[in-house]
């Protein structure tokens, strides 16, 4: 299963950094949503991306758009990452990779000369009707949050 443009947000049961179990659709609750996938908490590029989304979160909020980060890290890791970086949005702990696989972001990557399965940094934008409107695959962390915000602004105007 892979999410395609125009598809509706799947109602997957997820575990958030606040240890809540909730469906993805209930977490979004009728707002537009930016769901970004990243490889690992507290690594340089992932921290940069999270900080940028954190800093722009008030702008996303003004557009009635929620930000959600997803990685395979544990809830405990997410709690620490959120606290250390003062993140004001939810992180989903996807240790079983159900969400990552639904969004098809688990890819073969080269890590120190070895092939490993990991998360390809990717972002998905769902409109307020819950339909996938845009996908950013193979994202570079630096400046990405600002590019997403610009897209959301243009989309909603």
Per-residue pLDDT tens digits for 29-46: 889 999 999 999 999 999
Predicted pLDDT of residue 114: 84
The torsion defined by the Cα of 1, 146, 142 and 30, in degrees rounded to 10, comes to -30
Taking the C-alpha atoms of residue 10 and residue 2, their distance in angstroms, rounded to an integer, is 10
The domains located in the chain, with CATH, are: 13-141 (3.40.30.10)
Positions annotated as catalytic residues are 46
Question: What mean pLDDT comes out for the span 81-85?
Answer: 96
Predicted pLDDT of residue 1: 52
Predicted pLDDT of residue 110: 77
pTM of the model: 0.94
């Amino acid at each position: 299963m892979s999410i395609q443009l125009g598809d509706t947000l799947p109602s997957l049961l997820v575990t958030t950094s606040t240890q809540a179990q909730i469906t993805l659709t209930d977490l979004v609750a009728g707002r537009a949503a930016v769901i970004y996938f990243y490889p690992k908490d507290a690594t340089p590029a992932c921290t940069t991306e999270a900080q940028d989304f954190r800093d722009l979160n008030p702008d996303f909020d003004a557009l009635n758009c929620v930000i959600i980060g997803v990685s395979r890290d544990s809830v405990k890791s997410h709690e620490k990452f959120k606290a250390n970086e003062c993140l004001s949005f939810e992180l989903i702990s996807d240790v079983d990779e159900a969400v990552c696989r639904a969004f098809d972001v688990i890819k073969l990557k080269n890590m120190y000369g070895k092939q490993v399965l990991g998360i390809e940094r990717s972002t998905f934008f769902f409109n307020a009707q819950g339909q996938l409107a845009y996908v950013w695959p193979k994202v570079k962390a630096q400046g990405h949050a600002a590019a997403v915000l610009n897209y959301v602004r243009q989309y909603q105007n």
